Amino acid sequence: MIQRRQTLFLLVALILTIVCLSLPVAVFEPTGMGVNTDVYNLWIKNGSGALDFKVCPLFVILLLTCPINLWAIFKFHDRKFQARLCVVNILLILLWYVAYMYFTMLGGLAFENQTLHFAFTACLPFISIVLYIMARHSIIADEKLVRAADRIR
C-alpha cells in the first residue's frame, strides 16, 4: 500500500493540509502604527491576543479533507472509489479558496487602514490540489493496467 505512488501523493497532500491548518494564512498589517492581525484557518488573532472565530469555515472545509484523504488511502482495493474521493478533495479545496478570497479580500474581514499580506501557507492547498490530480492520474493508470491484465486472462 505505502509503496504505491498515489499513496505517497495522498500522504504528502495530507501533511500539507495539516501544516496549512496550523499556520497563519494571511496577515493584516496596519498602515500606521499598530500590531499585525494574523488570520489562521480557525480564528483571527489581533494584536491584543483576542481571538475572533469569523473564519472558522476555512478550518472546517480543510478539516473535512483530512478524513476523506485517509479514507482514500485505505480504500486502495477500490480504485474507482479512490479516484472519486480525490475529486471530492479537489472540490473541497477549491471551495476553501473561494471562502478564503471572500474572507480576506471581499469584505469578510474588512479591516480599515490595514494592508493584506498573503502567507506562503495559503499556497499549500494548491500544492495539495496538484498532488490529488497526480494521485488520481496514477489511480486511473493502475485501474487500466488491472483491466488490461484481466482481458489477457
* pLDDT value at residue 65: 95
Beta strand residue intervals within 1-153, DSSP E? 26-30, 37-39, 44-45, 51-52, 114-118
More confident residue, 70 or 28: 70
- Give the model's pLDDT for residue 124: 95
The per-residue pLDDT for 97 is 95
Q: Which tens digits make up the pLDDT trace of 89-144?
A: 999 999 999 999 998 887 656 566 778 888 999 999 999 999 999 999 999 988 88
Q: What's the confidence (pLDDT) of residue 2?
A: 58
What 74-83 contacts at long range (C-beta under 8 Å, 24+ apart), as own/partner pairs, is 74/1, 76/1, 76/4, 76/7, 79/139, 79/140, 79/142, 79/143, 79/146, 80/143, 82/6, 82/139, 83/136, 83/139, 83/140, 83/143
Return the higher-pLDDT residue of 109 and 48.
48
Query: Does domain 5-146 fall into CATH 1.20.140.150?
Result: yes
Q: What is the pLDDT of residues 8-24, one digit of tens each?
A: 999 999 999 999 999 99
- pLDDT higher than 70, residue 36: yes
